[in-house]
Amino acid sequence: MIKQNETIQADVLVVGGGTAGFVAAIAAARNGAKVILLEQRDHLGGTHSGGMVMMIRSMRHMKAPKSAEHKKVMITSYESSFEDEQLVFSIAQEYIDRMLEVGAAWGMTGQATARQLFDPEIAKWTIERMVVEAGVDVWFYAQVTDVLLSDNTVRGVVVENLKTRTEILAQVTIDATGDGNICAAAGASFEFGDPAEGHCQPMTLYFVMGGVKLDDTLAYIQNHPEEFSQDYVTTVLRLRDEGKPITVLPFKAKIKEALQKGDYPIPYGLKNVNPDTLTYMARPMFRNGKFRYDLISHNMDMAYNVDATDRKELTNATMGMRHVAVRMAAFYRKYVPGYEDAYLVHTAQVVGVRDSRRIVGDCTLNKDDVLAGKHFPDGIGRYGSVVDVHDKDGKQSLMLVEVGGSGWFHIPYRALLPRGVSNLLVAGRCISTDYIAQGCTRSQAACMMTGQAAGTAAALAVKSRVEPRAVNIGQLQKVLASQNQLI
Ligand SMILES: Cc1cc2nc3c(=O)[nH]c(=O)nc-3n(C[C@H](O)[C@H](O)[C@H](O)COP(=O)(O)OP(=O)(O)OC[C@H]3O[C@@H](n4cnc5c(N)ncnc54)[C@H](O)[C@@H]3O)c2cc1C
């Protein structure tokens, strides 16, 4: 086969145009670097947009629920809350403001809600506009298949298809692939899953149902306070009246009935489910400036104990999750008032992976750092979301724990530096953390923050002709602060 070979040079190469990657590319370009952004799919935003995770948690500190009942109220009211201290700003806030301008996010310009809802379809377009305006050279359909390495130093990557093999050389490469694919290929150490068994948290394939009459669903909830709790019922109805975001929780009595009749789908990888600990969420989608009470997005744990970096396992799990989505739609139609004539509009374009590799960096952020709200001298931003770890066996509910201390911890710059490898930075859900801390830093606002820090540091490294490890921390913090990030 005759294949064309080409070599291209950039200052900064960002691999993965997802939640962290698009922000990294903008930050590097705005700070003066020539940037190429490589994305294997046909859109930017990754899990944030194509994955249809339509809520950025937490731009603000987020409190933990005091009880199971309180959790229900909290889950539904946090999306419209401006109460607690906002911690993440800069490009993340600018992006939200751009989304607000075109009726693709709910809220107020210049501020974010604790859990910022947005339209994942318009997100793809807004991100494209921002990235292109920053001067980034975007490549879609560009799966990185190899890393160019010499003496533990990343020189660039390879993108290959049947027509062309392209070597892209760069002074700094940023791994924003979510799975730490570039770091792993470069020989960086990583941890995987929970410390006991290496099992990952469950995966999700978001699905959307149309033709829902949500007011009928809410009427059922109103008539069954014993199932949902009176506080939840009062809160959800008030929010609906005020046109604010709402979250609809599982219909446990219906699930029990459907389980008995064999009408409820068991998630991929499990033998049964416990209706009492099940937590999943259904939310009206925000489209063109308003919530659509006929178009409902569903987020539930669907596939257990899957390695997202294993193609065969991921293929089987994806088909397993689509099967669950189709059967869930049938369950809703048959059992849940308001869904009688509802239909499955689509499943998400991107499978929702909560965790896989965690790259071992020069510093590993751990559970104690997060829970104590630890401050680091090389902090690149503040974060204070609840730690949210989904039970890997489906036996218990998800764990939600509040960040202590002053309500936020620093993410240290060293957590973005893969140990033992040069010219490489990592951003997003696979930065250097332990299993529990990742339950916090995997949130989108934190991914955007680490993306911005990695992009900024990469541009500074290029300017100073040093490798990222040698970037002056004081200068990095000064630049981030001057661009409106709280340090
Ligand atoms: C079901 C679910 C619900 C969640 N709920 C919330 C929530 O409500 N709020 C919240 O804030 N967070 C939530 N999260 C967490 C959050 O959405 C993710 O952790 C975050 O979006 C991950 O961002 P990332 O940039 O690390 O990866 P991604 O956004 O997944 O981006 C990685 C990108 O890299 C690309 N890529 C990978 N390998 C290659 C390669 N070899 N070559 C080229 N491109 C490549 C991928 O195509 C993708 O676009 C949820 C996560 C899941 C799974």
Express each pLDDT in 382-413 by its tens digit.
999 988 888 887 777 677 788 999 999 999 99
Q: Is residue 203 a contact partner of residue 302, using CB atoms and an 8 Å limit?
A: yes
Which residue has its alpha carbon closest to ligand 1 atom 12?
Answer: 443
What pLDDT sits at residue 208? 98
Q: Which two tokens stand for residue 284?
A: 């009206």
Q: Mention every residue, 6+ apart, whose C-beta is less than 8 A from residue 434.
A: 191, 195, 358, 364, 365, 366, 367
Confidence of residue 466 (pLDDT cuts 50, 70, 90): very high
Q: Are 173 and 468 in contact (CB under 8 A)?
A: no
Structure tokens at 61: 């500190």
HSE-up of residue 424 (Cα within 13 Å, Cβ side)? 35
Beta bridge partners of 200: none
What is the pLDDT at residue 278?
83
**215-265 per-position pLDDT tens digit:** 999 999 999 988 888 888 999 999 999 999 999 989 999 999 999 999 999
Residue 57's pLDDT is what?
Answer: 86
Q: Is 114 helix (H, G, I), strand (E, B) or coil?
A: coil
Q: What is the pLDDT of residue 337?
A: 97
User: pLDDT per residue over 175-205, tens digit each?
Assistant: 999 999 999 999 999 999 999 999 999 999 9
Helical pair 19-30 and 444-464, crossing angle rounded to 10 deg: 30
Q: Both tokens of residue 355?
A: 């965790």
Written as six digits, the tokens of 304 are 């257990």
* First-residue to last-residue Cα distance in the chain: 53
Per CATH, the number for 4-71+82-196+355-482 is: 3.50.50.60
Element at 311 (helix H, strand E): helix 311-335
Does 193 sit in the ligand 1 pocket, CB within 6 Å?
no
Please tell me whether residue 354 adopts helix, strand or coil conformation. Answer: coil
Tell me the CB-side half-sphere exposure of residue 129, using CA atoms within 13 A: 10
Q: Does residue 38 line the site of ligand 1, with CB under 6 A? A: yes
Pocket test for ligand 1, best of 324, 442, 449, 450 (most atoms within 8 A of CB): 442
Q: How confident is the model at residue 305 (pLDDT cuts 50, 70, 90)?
A: very high
22 exposed, middle or buried (CB, 10 Å; 0-12, 13-18, 19+)? buried
Report how far residue 433's alpha carbon sits from residue 445's, in angstroms, rounded to the nearest whole number: 16
The residue nearest atom 31 of ligand 1, judged by CA position, is 18
Q: Give the per-residue pLDDT at 280.
A: 85
The C-alpha atoms of residue 66 and residue 397 are separated, in whole angstroms, by 14
For residue 38, give the ligand 1 atom closest to its CA.
43
Identify residue 403 by its one-letter amino acid code: V
Reading phi first (left if > 0) and then psi (alpha if -120 to 50, else beta), residue 46 is in: left
Question: Rounded to whole angstroms, how far apart are CA atoms 311 and 388?
Answer: 26
Q: Which residues contact 310 (CB under 8 A, 6 or more apart)?
A: none
Q: What is the pLDDT of residue 74?
A: 76
pLDDT band at residue 132 under the 50/70/90 scheme: very high
Nearest-angstrom CA–CA distance, 280 and 423: 41
CA 48–ligand 1 middle distance (angstroms)? 6
Q: Is the CB of 423 under 6 A from ligand 1?
A: no
CA distance 245 to 275: 25
Q: Would you say residue 71 has pLDDT above 90?
A: no
Where, residue-wise, is CATH 3.50.50.60 in the chain?
Answer: 4-71+82-196+355-482
Whether 308 lines ligand 1, by a CB cut-off of 6 Å, is no
What the block records as the tokens of 478 is 């000064």
Q: Determine whether the shortest distance from the Cβ of 40 to ligand 1 is under 6 A.
A: yes
Q: Rounded mean pLDDT of 74-85?
A: 83
* Index of the ligand 1 atom closest to the CA of residue 444: 11
Identify the helix (H) or strand (E) that includes residue 210: strand 207-210
Q: 144 CB under 6 A from ligand 1? A: yes
Calculate mean pLDDT across residues 427-450: 97
Of the listed ranges 160-164, 399-403, 435-439, 461-465, the least confidently predicted one is 399-403
What integer best gives the mean pLDDT of the chain?
Answer: 95
Question: What's the pLDDT score for residue 216?
Answer: 97
Q: Is the CB of 147 under 6 A from ligand 1?
A: no
Reported as a pLDDT band with limits 50, 70 and 90, residue 467 is very high
Give the up-direction half-sphere exposure of residue 478: CA atoms within 13 A in the CB hemisphere.
6
